[in-house]
Chain A
Amino acid sequence: MRIFESLRLALDGLRANKMRSFLTMLGVIIGVGAVVTLVSVGTGASQEVTSQVEALGSNLVIVLPASARGRDLRVEDVAMIEARVDGVLRAMPSLRKGSTVVWVGRSIDTDVVGTTEIMPAVQSHPVREGRFLSSQDILYRRQVAVLGSKAKDNLFGLRDPIGQEVYIMGYPFTVVGVMTAKGEGGLFTPDPDDQVVIPISTAQRIMGTTRVGSIYVSVDSDANADLVTSHIKRLLEIRFNDAEAVQVFSQQQILAAVGSVTGILTLLLGAIAGISLLVGGIGIMNIMLVSVTERTREIGIRKAVGGKYRDILAQFLVESIIISITGGIIGILLGMLGSQAIARLGNIPSVVSLSWVMIAFGFAAAVGLFFGIYPAMRAARLDPIQALRHD
């Protein structure tokens, strides 16, 4: 018997029980839809993290105190890294603290970041209006501030902030500039648009500390970032006389670490959704078994007139594969819509990846085959005499 005939027979069988076929299909639709939706959201999130890490600047090395028995980094370390490590272009301290910023009775909660005049260069993040901090500002611990674009919008709306006086931790600061909008970050890394930048020296004073939180090092694009990373680490190990005083990461290392975490997350989401697809497959098996029992007499007739084992097998197997493949296609479409909806509602990016769509579809088809084969074999193995007696 030709494949076309099996297809026609299977479609007839499915049409005879439309509601039942649809409900069975629904299990696969939900399973595939869930896989596509969750994996798309997961993929989107990991791409977002990647682009945010990349947005920190290019060819960047980050120095942090080790978490367990970390030693405080100081401004002198910044200068030392810049002076003594080959391949380092600039090094920039950063001291970040969440704080309330007040302007004429209005206030916002944002991050206050102390740094130096080279930040726009290191993080590829220029000012839009006014000016950035100058070396004089840092030297004289001036109380001047540069607003991130979002912080400016939140505090000043459409008004011009330049020259206005804002209060940070109770100290008055004069706004001298506004940064351009970077548009990346906020979800997994601090939002570079929602912060207020002040001189590192001033920041240390108002926060009552002499340390810096982290050091951002920009590396010559011709230099080997990994080599620079290990040189910096070695330098600081000698300085602290402690092999585990600091953590030094190149941007590539961070990306790799983040990538493996989000990869696992995506896989986990996919696996959870895959379980529902498995349940859908069990639904197929269940209904196919019922169908085989109901149609025992039909099977007997078909065998009596010469239907072979493989003919009966094909008829029922094609039925379950049609259910799973059709369900798979509908599930993919719904999953794409679902991931778009979640992206809109939750402000989380979603990326439908073709490879995952193919995996979900292939898995659905495999589920149809796997869970269809047993009922189909049962049908094909029926004894025609017994089957003809059945009613």
Chain B
Amino acid sequence: MAETPLPTVPRAPLLELRGVGKTYGESGLAVSALRGVYLRVQAGELISIMGPSGSGKSTLMNILGCLDRPSEGTYLIEGRDVSTLTDNELAEIRNRKIGFVFQTFNLLHRSTAMDNVELPLIYRGLPRTERRRLAREALVVVGMPHRLTHRPAQLSGGEQQRVAIARALAGSPRLILADEPTGNLDSRTGEEIMGIFQRVNSELGVTVVLVTHDPLRGKQTRRLVQVRDGEIVEDEPVSEAEFRLAEPWARATAEATRAAAETARATTEPEKVGAPR
């Protein structure tokens, strides 16, 4: 079921960056945050972009998320060039194709969980009953069918991030872009959140792009893109063995199995890899 997609598959990729660069500032004092980035992401991939702070991964994510435009090169989503679109057209793409998950959750603090999840659907112009239905479904997917009327302040960090993922999912996007989604969570909650991303990817077929600086999280995806100084320095699939080792669901299942019966002889017996950070 989980096989590494090949970059050379002939069908049009979901995302394609062709020589994308981003330069800030005036020509004299220009700072280039990205240089000549080529990247293809096929539909259904689970991919992480890693790099230290200042490496340009945030800029890359902003461009992938249509929050920003490249200053050179082209960016294609489903074969459509978005480099030259207007602000409104970009907003439309963010609304229909992309779901964002942030490190700081970025929920509207005055709104209930339900209202937060509905937000993208409001801007899509869906009627209220339809919005309610889709929002409730999304909250079920992330394991939050209760607490619909709670406000963010009444929820734990993990719960807030689940609501945020539900918001990203509610509009059935092709792509979920997660920027350090576990950065503000303890490791256990972080594992749960990673599990949700993996499940969303494998069960719903949503493409997930994860931006992180944590190598463990990188290994919890299928493909690892390393960014340094505004350039992609490495782009490798994560080996099945590594993925299995890091996969939180596998580990959770295995631990449960071990606790229940003392048959600690499974071939992929996991160890506490990278738990202490």
Q: B167 is contacted by which of A298, A305, A308, A388 (Cβ under 8 Å)?
A: A305
- Interface membership of B106, Cβ < 8 A: yes
In the bound complex, residues from chain A placing their C-beta under 8 Å from that of B106 are: 297, 300-301, 304, 388
Digit string of B97-136 for contact with A (CB within 8 Å is 1, else 0)?
Answer: 0001010001110110000000110111100000000000
CA distance A307 to B120 in the complex (A): 8
Digit string of A264-307 for contact with B (CB within 8 Å is 1, else 0)?
Answer: 00000000000000000000000000000000011011111111
CA distance A305 to B95 in the complex (A): 5
In the bound complex, residues from chain A placing their C-beta under 8 Å from that of B107 are: 301
Assuming the contacts A12-B110, A298-B108, A388-B106, asked whether A306 and B67 have C-beta atoms less than 8 A apart, the reply is no
Contact B124 A306 (CB under 8 A): yes
Quick one: closest B residue to A311, CB to CB? B123
CA distance A302 to B110 in the complex (A): 13
In the bound complex, residues from chain A placing their C-beta under 8 Å from that of B65 are: 304
Assuming the contacts A297-B106, A306-B96, A384-B67, asked whether A2 and B125 have C-beta atoms less than 8 A apart, the reply is yes
- Closest beta carbon of chain B to A378's beta carbon, Å: 15
Contact B120 A305 (CB under 8 A): yes
- Interface membership of B199, Cβ < 8 A: no
In the bound complex, residues from chain A placing their C-beta under 8 Å from that of B72 are: none
CA distance A1 to B122 in the complex (A): 6
CA distance A311 to B87 in the complex (A): 13
CA distance A53 to B67 in the complex (A): 73
CA distance A384 to B120 in the complex (A): 15
Quick one: closest B residue to A305, CB to CB? B120
Contact B92 A308 (CB under 8 A): yes
- Interface membership of A385, Cβ < 8 A: yes
Contact B123 A308 (CB under 8 A): yes
Contact B122 A5 (CB under 8 A): yes
Contact B67 A302 (CB under 8 A): no
In the bound complex, residues from chain B placing their C-beta under 8 Å from that of A306 are: 91-92, 94-96, 120, 123-124, 171
- Interface membership of A240, Cβ < 8 A: no
In the bound complex, residues from chain A placing their C-beta under 8 Å from that of B87 are: 308-309
In the bound complex, residues from chain A placing their C-beta under 8 Å from that of B125 are: 1-2
In the bound complex, residues from chain A placing their C-beta under 8 Å from that of B124 are: 306
Contact A301 B120 (CB under 8 A): no
In the bound complex, residues from chain B placing their C-beta under 8 Å from that of A300 are: 106
Contact A385 B67 (CB under 8 A): yes
- Interface membership of A16, Cβ < 8 A: yes
- Closest beta carbon of chain B to A391's beta carbon, Å: 9
Contact A303 B91 (CB under 8 A): yes
- Interface membership of B68, Cβ < 8 A: yes
- Closest beta carbon of chain B to A181's beta carbon, Å: 65
Contact B100 A305 (CB under 8 A): yes
CA distance A384 to B124 in the complex (A): 18
Quick one: closest A residue to B122, CB to CB? A5
CA distance A309 to B87 in the complex (A): 8
CA distance A42 to B122 in the complex (A): 49
Quick one: closest A residue to B92, CB to CB? A306
CA distance A191 to B125 in the complex (A): 69
CA distance A385 to B59 in the complex (A): 10
CA distance A216 to B100 in the complex (A): 88
In the bound complex, residues from chain B placing their C-beta under 8 Å from that of A307 are: 91, 123
Residues 342-391 of A at the B interface (beta carbon under 8 Å): 384-385, 388
- Interface membership of B62, Cβ < 8 A: yes
Contact B108 A301 (CB under 8 A): yes
Contact A1 B123 (CB under 8 A): yes
- Closest beta carbon of chain A to B181's beta carbon, Å: 14
- Interface membership of B88, Cβ < 8 A: yes
Q: B94 is contacted by which of A298, A305, A311 (Cβ under 8 Å)?
A: A305
Contact B92 A302 (CB under 8 A): no
- Closest beta carbon of chain B to A64's beta carbon, Å: 72
In the bound complex, residues from chain B placing their C-beta under 8 Å from that of A298 are: 108
Contact B110 A304 (CB under 8 A): no
In the bound complex, residues from chain B placing their C-beta under 8 Å from that of A308 are: 87-88, 91-92, 123
Contact A388 B102 (CB under 8 A): yes
CA distance A2 to B130 in the complex (A): 15
- Closest beta carbon of chain B to A377's beta carbon, Å: 13
Listed residue (B91, B94, B106, B111) with the most chain A CB atoms within 10 angstroms of its CB: B91
CA distance A388 to B125 in the complex (A): 23
CA distance A309 to B167 in the complex (A): 21
- Closest beta carbon of chain B to A50's beta carbon, Å: 56
In the bound complex, residues from chain A placing their C-beta under 8 Å from that of B102 are: 388
- Closest beta carbon of chain A to B110's beta carbon, Å: 6
Quick one: closest A residue to B111, CB to CB? A12
Digit string of B194-236 for contact with A (CB within 8 Å is 1, else 0)?
Answer: 0000000000000000000000000000000000000000000
- Closest beta carbon of chain B to A347's beta carbon, Å: 52
Contact B100 A16 (CB under 8 A): no
In the bound complex, residues from chain A placing their C-beta under 8 Å from that of B68 are: 385
Contact A385 B62 (CB under 8 A): yes
In the bound complex, residues from chain B placing their C-beta under 8 Å from that of A304 are: 65, 67, 94, 100, 106
In the bound complex, residues from chain B placing their C-beta under 8 Å from that of A297 are: 106
Quick one: closest A residue to B131, CB to CB? A5
Q: B110 is contacted by which of A2, A16, A385, A388 (Cβ under 8 Å)?
A: A16
CA distance A305 to B131 in the complex (A): 14
- Closest beta carbon of chain B to A184's beta carbon, Å: 60
Assuming the contacts A297-B106, A385-B62, asked whether A305 and B67 have C-beta atoms less than 8 A apart, the reply is no
The interface of chain B, by Cβ under 8 A from chain A, is 62, 65, 67-68, 87-88, 91-92, 94-96, 100, 102, 106-108, 110-111, 119-120, 122-125, 167, 171
9 sample A-B contacts, Cβ–Cβ < 8 Å, listed by A number: A1-B125, A5-B122, A301-B106, A303-B94, A304-B65, A305-B120, A309-B88, A311-B123, A385-B67
Known pairs A1-B123, A309-B88 / 13 extra A-B pairs, C-beta < 8 Å: A301-B119, A304-B65, A304-B94, A305-B95, A305-B100, A305-B119, A305-B120, A306-B92, A306-B96, A306-B124, A308-B88, A309-B91, A310-B88
